[in-house]
Amino acid sequence: MGVGTAGVEDRVDEAVLDRLLGELDAGAERWAVTPLPERAALLRRTHAAVAEHAEDWALTAARIKGLDPASPLVGEEWLSGPYAVLTAIDRLARTLDALAEGRSPLRDLAFHAAPGGRRAVDVMPLGAVEGLLLHGFRAEVWFPPGVTDQRAKLTAGLGALRVGESAGVGLVLGAGNITSIPPLDVLYGLVAENRAAVLKLNPVLADLAGPFEAAFAPLVDAGLLRVVQGGAAVGGFLAHRPLVRHVHITGSIVSHDAIVWGTGPEADQRRRAGTPLLDAPITSELGGASPIIVVPGEWTASELAFQAEHVATMRLHNGGYNCIAGQVLLLAADWPQREAFLDAVRGALAAAPPRPDWYPGSADRCAAAVRAYPGAERLGPDGDRLLIEVGDRDATAMERTEWFAPVLGVVDVPGTGQAFLDEAVRRANDGLVGTLGANVLIRPEDRAALGAGFGRAIAALRYGTIAINAWTGLGFLLAATPWGAFPGGTLQDAGSGIGVVHNALLVDGAERTVLHGPFRPFPASVLAGERALSPRPPWFVTARTAATTGRLLTGFAGGRAPWLLPAALASAFRG
């Protein structure tokens, strides 16, 4: 149900909004006493509704972003929209099944040692299908030092362990870029915290109100979700209503701080005094300038080309409008192949399929980047993709600004081998804004040569998700991996955010997610000794059959037909 309007008008109908909050508060009370099997059943009805309306969802998102319906880039809207939500709902329902039977969601998973006296649990692949779809990829969740396997198993479940306790109504301020973000945030609050939600859509995604209300009709009918529209005035009104007991925002640190402290000189005074305007607790995901650390080695021409496409994907996926986009390429100044790799990256950025600059303010942010670095290279069909070699200039603007646009910076780091990696980690921790995600590219042979030093370097990286020969965007896509900034954000200094979402195994107190992927695609991976049968991933901006693969995978995830899985795999290999 729409309240307020997208665009210029931002009308607050206080009576209507308060009525919706009352309905949700009653729904949260009912949900709190709902037995776990009935909760799982509601999730499965929601899964069926999402599957039924997945095409409308994905194609509406493609229209919002101005994509040519025939472009392979439409695959992004399938995979990062309904597919991500379908897999999350399925895994959340399975987690509730386990808890209803008295089993920890982590009971049958493998625990092992991680660097720095930590313990870790393997959370991907979960089952044969995920192992087939992402063959050669794996994910683990690290716990802070001192957390035992037994404690991790006993506490997994979060709000589902507290049947009878209602967390009331939460406000979800939806992101305007990736379309699965708002519903995934709603689902996590519902299952992990026993919280109903009023979802305020970002005006950029206003046209998704209809598809969302249809896809999540079971939750709406149960009084657990209301979808509203409007701008900052609607969001601000809701955030400060007495019935709203929690706020979650995915967006910018500016928006977060405006909600918490207000604006103007008074905001600074409140921050210094530690007296926020917001009474309710807030969690957040706020982005940053994510590093791509390239550990030097002797790469083949095909490895240079593949990893250049990987880097281009990290920057250009969704047009570059991702909080987890790779932004700062940390290269070894002494790497003999530095120029060859940069040439390959330059070519991959230029050759990626065209798309409009659809997110508001993109051109202005690119212009600001050019003012900061007048030597920026303009690449792509429209010259709107920027490659900036910082060189001996001040790197502050590149490292401390989240450009949220197709801007890729290159910063040189001295040394090779372990010395380079340690310095790159220091630069990523101390120089770059944010702690959401870091990417590391390294040949398996070079990783083996570093031995324990590599593990110590990964442990030293203070990021919520670390992807080794993968993109941290996969950590967002996976249902089981907790998604959020590295722990430590506060109201006064939220950084990349506070808390986590997704986390469909309902892990309590995770420190970080660590992803591992193959350095080479199949068949080069197998020929080089890697146990990985995955082709070029369908989320690559260079995947020619991504739209078909995304549609087929979404159909399979929605339970439409088992034959869609081999068809999706065949499409991925053709791409």
Cis peptide before 523 (omega within 30 of 0): yes
Residues 350 and 405 in one domain: yes
Residues 240 and 91 in one domain: yes
Residues 281 and 315 in one domain: no
Residues 276 and 358 in one domain: no
Boundary-marking domain end, from 492, 509, 526: 509
Q: Is residue 250 part of a domain?
A: yes
Split into its structural domains, the chain has a count of: 3
Boundary-marking domain end, from 486, 509, 532: 509
pLDDT at 372 over 80: yes
pLDDT band at 560 (very low <50, low <70, confident <90, very high): confident
pLDDT band at 420 (very low <50, low <70, confident <90, very high): very high
pLDDT given for residue 88 in this prediction: 98
Give CA–CA dist 454/490, Å, rounded: 30
Query: Mean pLDDT throughout 14-23?
Result: 97
Residues 316 and 418 in one domain: yes
Q: Is residue 531 part of a domain?
A: no
Residues 178 and 302 in one domain: no
Give CA–CA dist 481/471, Å, rounded: 14
Half-sphere exposure for 241 (CA within 13 Å, toward CB): 25
At residue 253's C-alpha, the angle toward residues 250 and 259, to 5°, is 80
Q: E-assigned strands of 125-256?
A: 138-142, 169-173, 196-200, 225-228, 244-250
Query: Mean pLDDT throughout 47-53?
Result: 98
Query: Mean pLDDT throughout 131-149?
Result: 97
- What digits encode the pLDDT tens for the residues 459-509? 999 999 999 999 999 999 999 999 999 999 999 999 999 999 999 999 999
Boundary-marking domain end, from 509, 528, 560: 509
Considering the chain, what is the average pLDDT of its residues? Answer: 96
Residues 495 and 561 in one domain: no
pLDDT given for residue 128 in this prediction: 94
Query: Mean pLDDT throughout 66-82?
Result: 97
- What digits encode the pLDDT tens for the residues 443-459? 999 999 999 999 999 99
Q: Residue length, the chain?
A: 575
pLDDT at 6 over 60: no
Q: Give the CATH number of the domain where residue 436 resides.
A: 3.40.309.10
pLDDT given for residue 153 in this prediction: 98
Query: Mean pLDDT throughout 7-27?
Result: 87
Residues 436 and 391 in one domain: yes
pLDDT given for residue 161 in this prediction: 97
Percent of the chain with pLDDT over 70: 98
pTM of structure: 0.96
pLDDT at 2 over 70: no
Residue 381: Cβ within 10 Å count: 12
Residues 197 and 217 in one domain: yes
Q: Is residue 502 part of a domain?
A: yes
Q: Is residue 25 part of a domain?
A: yes
Residues 276 and 328 in one domain: no
pLDDT at 90 over 70: yes
Angle of helix 338-351 relative to helix 301-316, nearest 10 degrees, comes to 50
Residues 90 and 20 in one domain: yes
pLDDT given for residue 5 in this prediction: 35
At residue 6's C-alpha, the angle toward residues 5 and 11, to 5°, is 35
pLDDT given for residue 4 in this prediction: 34
State the residue range of the domain holding 399: 290-509
pLDDT at 9 over 80: no
Q: Is residue 3 part of a domain?
A: no
At residue 575's C-alpha, the angle toward residues 324 and 436, to 5°, is 10
pLDDT given for residue 10 in this prediction: 75
- What digits encode the pLDDT tens for the residues 260-295? 999 988 999 999 999 999 999 999 999 999 999 999
Residues 409 and 501 in one domain: yes
Query: Mean pLDDT throughout 541-566?
Result: 95
Query: Mean pLDDT throughout 252-257?
Result: 94
